[in-house]
Amino acid sequence: MAADRCRVCGGAASGELCGIHLEAKRRLEKHFEVWRQRMGVSWQEYLKMVQANPNTGSAVREVAAHLLEVAEGGTG
């Protein structure tokens, strides 16, 4: 049985994501709650805003790109 690989960077992971990208995803989801309540943005709109924000860290942006692909592709 092959070890799990991070879907974003291909690094060693204990699930879908490595530690760095798992933490970035948690941060994204936490912030989304705030944005959703304040501005009523959808998950996909939020992910696009995150990617367009130059202040977003690279790990968070990479996870946002991945999650957006999943959300739009639906081929999971």
- Exactly one of 18, 24, 47, 50 binds Zn ion (CB under 5 A); that residue is 18
22 is an interface residue for Zn ion by CB under 5 A: no
Q: How far is the CB of 21 from Zn ion (least distance, A)?
A: 4
- Per CB under 5 A, the list member of 8, 47, 60, 63 interacting with Zn ion is 8
Report, in Å, the least distance between residue 67 CB and Zn ion.
13
Amino acid code (one letter) for 36: R
